[in-house]
Amino acid sequence: MVVPVLPAYLRPYLAAYKQWITTKPQVVSDIESTVRCLSYFTA
């Protein structure tokens, strides 16, 4: 998803998020798997 104009107050958060994701891909994958499993249990 491309956001054409990002508010200035969100830019530092987005940059930190991108850095966190690129440095910890396994953690992100584990979180996604956990959320997926939890959604099956709540359905």
**Torsions phi, psi for 2 (to 5 deg):** -110, 125
At 1-43, the pLDDT tens digits run: 665 777 889 989 999 999 999 999 999 999 999 999 998 888 7
Q: What is the pLDDT of residue 41?
A: 86
Q: What is the pLDDT of residue 40?
A: 87
- pTM confidence score: 0.57
At 30-41, the pLDDT tens digits run: 999 999 999 888
Query: What b/e readout covers 1-38, taking b as 16+ CB neighbours within 10 angstroms?
Result: eeeeeeeeeeeeeeeeeeeeeeeeeeeeeeeeeeeeee
**Torsions phi, psi for 18 (to 5 deg):** -60, -40
